[in-house]
Structure 1
Amino acid sequence: MKHVERNFAGRTLKLEAGRLAKQAAGSCLLQFGETVVLATVTVSDNVSTLPFFPLTVEYREKAYAAGKIPGGFLKREGRPSDEEILAARGIDRSVRPLFPEGFKNEVQVFVYVLSADQENDADVLGLTAASAALTMSKVPWNGPIAAVRVGRVEGAWILNPTFQQLEFSDVDMVVSGSKDSIVMVEGGALELTEAEIVKGLEVAHKGIRELLDAATELVAEMRQPKMEWTKVEPPAELVTRVKQLAEARVSEALNLPEKSERAQALAALKATIQEELAAEFPDNVKDVANVIEEIEYHTMRNQVLTHAERVDGRDLDTVRPISCEVGVLPRTHGSALFTRGQTQALVSATLGTVSDEQRIDSIDVAQETSKSCMLHYNFPPFSSGEVRPIRGTSRREVGHGALAERALQALLPPYDQFPYTIRIVSDILESNGSSSMATVCGGSLALFDAGVPMTAACAGVAMGLIKEADRVAVLTDILGTEDALGDMDFKVAGTRQGVTSI
């Protein structure tokens, strides 16, 4: 067993390994103040046949952590709350990019909140503990990383502010990263300038380095040998033949103007080449699609870096054509249709009374609380031309809704001046990149249409990055293809004065 204790942000930080959950591939117990989280990692010995890396992250809060018994008829924890889903997404987005390319063994990261002191939020602690567990385990992973929350009260930046301090803070931002770089940023602010956001990132990164020093000391004696694995590669002869047949045609298909045309052309190309090579490579027909996807990846990136030209013909800085309509639904309190390129959001705003507020029972506070502003984001399969079953609200829908809600909530009038419950619903009708930012734009319009006296109009855009060695391109208003094949999806929303959500 190994135990490390440090002072961090004015409170005691304890990390422990080797006492709990010893049958997991890796585990870490982390305590900050009197908030305690346990992070575990398990990995399958079998290689998955799925076409993506099967990583699952679960974050669960125990009611007993705050000395509570769950409400309702069933006195046990059930479906994860929105806050638990958002914490799990934050961990997932931070750790996923650091797994080696081609690793396909199923991995599960599980974080339990075992004690909640109702002062220190457990979400960032869970990410730091998960990183330590991954680093100690046999799972191949290019960590470690750590996470902090930053706030600012009366101009003073605070690392891991308490819930009480956050009530007076003009920014609430979670940042994860390594000693050298930042991996993930998520948060909201009261119209902070870009320079102020950058300062907050610098403060956060300094705290991340402190946490990594403690984590490195813990891991040093507990690290296990990494498991043996081999990236599955298609035969070199097959790669050569597919490139001969497909490279020019992939470039042509990628540059078709419409999303559906591009998808259909690439699907037809894969089918055609698979048929052409079936006799020559009977055991590797499925590998053809993977090789074509690799060609697509390099073709798109090289076109942007070499020619500064994107697949829809835009340069790096151009935003797609925008159209805005308000009052599109006759019986809603407020409605708007926002369209940017092939991304379209139908957004409605409804005003209610105090009895319509959402009641929340959380381990973060002693009493039940309520919420008077809600934004619900819906992403039906037809918005991307797909056919798939509907099985409740997805994690993605929860995450995108929370991002847009933060952007707009910062601009609402004080409750004592406008004592209404507000529900905003965004139904995505078309999607080709940045539908959450279309929700922000449409939400702002719908609120104005409903007569809500917002302090300013709000808009959002998704920025992308493509980087290879010293060649770098920053993309404005990215497409779905640029999100999938690029290196960053960085959503920023705000007003003319500053940032409200990031």
Structure 2
Amino acid sequence: MIIKEREIAGKTMRLETGRVARQSNGSVMVTYGETTILAAVNAAKEPREDIDFFPLQVEYREKHYAGGKIPGGFFKREARPSEHEVLTSRVTDRPIRPLFPKGFKNETQIMITVLQSDGENMADVLAGVGASAALMTSTIPWNGPIASVRVGRIEGKYIINPTRSEIMDCDLEMVVSGNQETVVMVEGEADGVSESEVLDGLKQAHEVIKEIIDLQNELLSAMDVVKDEVVIPQPDDAMVSAVDEKIGSQVDDIVKIVDKKERSSAKNEMVSSILDSLEESYPSEGKTIKSLIDDRFKAGFREQILATGKRSDGRSTADIRPISIDTDILPRTHGSALFTRGETQALVVTTLGSKRDEMIIDTADEDYKKSYYLHYNFPPYCVGETGRIGFTSRREIGHGNLAQRAIKPALPDYDDFPYTIRIVSEIMESNGSSSMASVCGGSLSLMSSGAPLKSHVAGIAMGLITDGKRHAILSDILGMEDHLGDMDFKVAGTADGITAIQLDLKIEGISFELMEQALQQAHEGRLHILGLMKEAMPEPNDISPYAPRIMSIAINTEKIGALIGPGGKNIKKIIEDTECEVNVDDDGIVTIAGMNTDKCNEAIEMVKALTFEPEVGMEFDGTVTRIMTFGAFVEFVPGREGLVHISELEWNRVDKVEDVVKTGDPIRVKLIKVDDQGRLDFSRKALLEKPEGYVERPKRPRSDSNRGGRKPFKKRRF
């Protein structure tokens, strides 16, 4: 067993290997504060020959026992991964994947399990550290290490690995991964910060990343690890020459074709032609020939941009594709917008709901509800293909979460707009930047629904082509530029600043200077898009007639019980009588939702009646609910009663209550007393004219004894 420790950002980080999961190729336990995760890595002995990609699987799981909880549901065990677990798996995968050898096709699996959580030190950011350390201690070939940290900012001060409580107060929060030289992955959100503030945060994060990498190297130096040799078969020189001869200048011509479909068709025709012509000479080398053609196509595509500054669709590096915006195209929905940028198109629909539509989140550390969420769908038809449907892919979850975080800072406060908001982005066409089209369409769709956004939000995807000496930063990248380029850098925000950021690299890193240039170019592109969005929809619409009407009222928390009533009697009656949905929070906020405004107002008045504080002298129209020998109980508002004593029914003497009122009779009464226990005494006679010559009968003094000398009952416990 080997243990290495170091203080990281004011807390001890501990790496341990050799005690658990010893049959794994590599396994490391990472502890930070009192949060512990286990990372175990394994790879198949032989490569898969039937694929043309690297089969890496990263799985992050939070066990409920880690937080001292039992999972909900019927089976009481963890089932499919939650959205947070999927997002953490993606954030862990992205910086690790580019560091495996090119051509490595051995199936590789990285399993990260949260074993214990103190509820404050976040386990997700430890996943990258654990995966890197486990890969370093394994024999699997990998060009690491890397490390991950979370950086937040509170009142202008940057904090590394803020606690869960501190994150709630941050106006900037990013998960950053990097190597010894630079940053390689970023996933973050902010409340409209500047590009320079983002860069400052990344630089501070990188300093701590280098410390964690040193700790991993300490662990590795205490071990004797020999990496497996990877033999990547090289194609025959004669076959390479034959392929290059057949290609000729075709690649240069194809990469200049503007239309995506035409370019794809031309490439497919070229591939088919070359395969047919070389089939006799190399009958079993079809995959290798395709791979060589792809390599030449990639090189030609990149060289055109680096050499001429012109892209395949004719744009310069900073140009944005033509944008068209159509709002309110689905009038029966609560809000809708069609955002088209070049060959990328998003149909985004907003639905407004009530509190019962909130999403319930159950995690190892906390349970809460979300009143805003965004879902992203990427059907196969958007790229003209067929494919598997019926489940939500990790990519769809990741893109939806990015767009959701981008729009969140611009949402109105709940008190001003007490709706649950669901946004759905349906990608109709895709040729790059569909997640950023979802941000733009989501902002427009919210305005279409009547949501008073603080400002529009727009997003843009930046790319990079570099050969080490020449660099080209691309604005609003195409799908091919994403696939064949070196960077996918998504930046979203308002005119005031950045609200969400996501950086993925396919190379080992870029300098902060290049990152600064990309951020500045993204800023200019974002302002251009925001101008078009503001022109298309400068102000929010009125709320759709098909959306529910939601009203809210604050009541004294001590009156919540009175509003609900015994067994929910009172609140059920309001719901039944008004056909509205009524919800009350622990802080006394009562929300009324319904399709009819008049009915909502009626429900509000009923809530007020149940929860108001009656004062002596007030008059009410009530109903007799119960007859007793000593008086009648009157319901003066739904669910609330008071007593009219028999002596307060008439000015004249009343022998029997039933002589004056009966159960169900309407009665007008006046409040004459509220005792120390909150019981209400009413009078009917106080509202009647006093008979002429009426003489008040003297009241008999109350005896201090126990009423008739009877001893009080004794309580008995059985």
| Structure 1 SS opposite 2:6 | strand
State the alpha-carbon separation in 2 of the partners of residues 416 and 163 from structure 1: 25
Instruction: Please name the residue that 1:431 is paired with.
Output: 430
- Counterparts of 2:312 and 2:365 in 1: how far apart (Å)? 46
**What is the correspondence of 1:107-256 to structure 2 with a 5 Å cutoff?**
107-256=108-257
1:379/1:397 contact within 8 Å kept:
yes
| Residue of structure 2 equivalent to 1:378 | 377
Whichever residue aligns with residue 21 of structure 1, its letter is A
CA shift for structure 1 position 363: 1.4
Deviation at 1:334, TM superposition (A): 0.6
Which residue matches 1:61? Answer: 62
**Superposition pairs of residues 204-353 of structure 1, within 5 angstroms:** 204-353=205-354
Kindly provide the amino acid, as one letter, of the partner of residue 18 in structure 1.
Answer: G
Local SS of the residue matching 2:136: helix
Give the aligned residue type for 2:389. I
Secondary structure of the residue aligned to 1:311 is coil
Q: TM-score, normalised by structure 1?
A: 0.98
Q: Secondary structure at the match of 2:253?
A: helix
Give me the whole-angstrom Cα distance separating, in 1, the residues matched to 2:248 and 2:421: 52
SS of corresponding position for 2:7: strand
Give the root-mean-square deviation of aligned CA atoms.
0.9
After alignment, is 153-162 or 248-257 more displaced? 248-257
2-structure distance, mates of 1:266, 1:220: 49
Bigger Rg, structure 1 or 2 = 2
Offset, 1:248: 1.1
Hey, what does 1:419 align to over in structure 2?
418
CA deviation map 1:54-85 (0-9, x unaligned): 11111111010001111010111100000000
Please say which of residues 306-315 and 222-231 is displaced more in the overlay.
222-231
Q: In 2, distance between residues paired with 1:44 and 1:391?
A: 30
Residues 105-133 of structure 1: CA deviation (Å, up to 9, x unaligned): 11111100111111011111011110011
Instruction: Give the AA of the match of 1:20.
Output: V
Instruction: Note if 1:497 corresponds to 2:496.
Output: yes
Q: Distance in 2 between matches of 1:484 and 1:389?
A: 21
User: What whole-Å deviation, never above 9, does each CA across 1:189-243 have from its counterpart, x for those lacking one?
Assistant: 0000000000000111011011111111112122521111111222111111111
| Offset, 1:286 | 2.3
Q: Which moved more, 1:135-144 or 1:244-253?
A: 244-253
Paired residue for 1:71?
Answer: 72
The CA deviation string for residues 227-262 of structure 1, in whole angstroms up to 9 with x for no partner, is 111112221111111111114112212221111111
What amino acid maps onto 1:474 in structure 2? I
Secondary structure, counterpart of 1:324 in structure 2: strand
The one-letter code of the counterpart of 1:92 is D
Residues 356, 421 of structure 1: 8 Å contact kept: yes
Number of residue equivalences: 500
Bigger RCO of structures 1 and 2 (CA < 8 A, at least 6 apart): 1
1:42 aligned partner, one-letter code: N
Counterparts of 1:204 and 1:283 in 2: how far apart (Å)?
Answer: 50
Most deviating of 255-264 and 183-192: 255-264
Letter in 1 for 2:13: L
- Structure 1 segment 351-390 matched on structure 2, within 5 A: 351-365=352-366, 368-390=367-389
Distance 2:266 2:110 in 1: 38
Q: Secondary structure at the match of 2:410?
A: coil
Residue in 2 aligned with 1:472? 471
Residue 21 of structure 1 is matched in structure 2 by: 21
Question: Residues 88 and 442 from structure 1, CA distance in 2 versus in 1: closer, same or farther, beyond 3 angstroms?
Answer: same
Paired residues for 1:448-463 under 5 Å: 448-463=447-462
**Matched position secondary structure for 2:89:** helix
- The DSSP-based 3-state class of the residue aligned with 2:303 is helix
Quick one: which amino acid aligns to residue 400 of structure 2?
G
Q: Identity percentage over the alignment?
A: 51
Q: Name the structure 2 match of 1:41.
A: 41
Query: Would the aligned equivalents of 1:337 and 1:345 in 2 still touch at CA under 8 Å?
Result: yes
Q: Deviations over 1:401-458 (max 9, x none)?
A: 0000000001111222222100000000000001000000000000011111111111
SS of residue paired to 1:410: helix
How much does 1:172 deviate? 1.2
Runs of 4+ off more than 2 Å: none
**Matched AA of 2:39:** A
CA contact (8 A) 1:36 1:114 kept: yes
Q: Is the 8 A contact 1:121 1:364 kept in 2?
A: no
- 1:7 is matched with 7
**Residue 297 (structure 1) shift:** 0.9
Matched to 1:349, the amino acid is T
1:15 is paired with a residue whose SS is strand
User: Following the alignment from structure 1 to structure 2, what is the Cα–Cα distance between the partners of residues 33 and 66?
Assistant: 14
1:158: how far off? 0.3
Corresponding residue for residue 96 of structure 2: 95
The Cα offsets for residues 6-55 of structure 1, whole Å up to 9 and x where unpaired, read as 22122221110111111111111000011110001100111112110111
Give the Cα separation in 1 of the matches to 2:152 and 2:18: 34
CA distance in 2 between partners of 1:170 and 1:333 (Å): 31
Distance 1:385 1:154 in 2: 49
Q: State how far apart, in whole Å, the 2-side matches of 1:247 and 1:402 are.
A: 44
For the residues of structure 1 that align with 2:186 and 2:435, how far apart are their CA atoms? 16
Q: 1:135 deviation in Å? A: 1.1
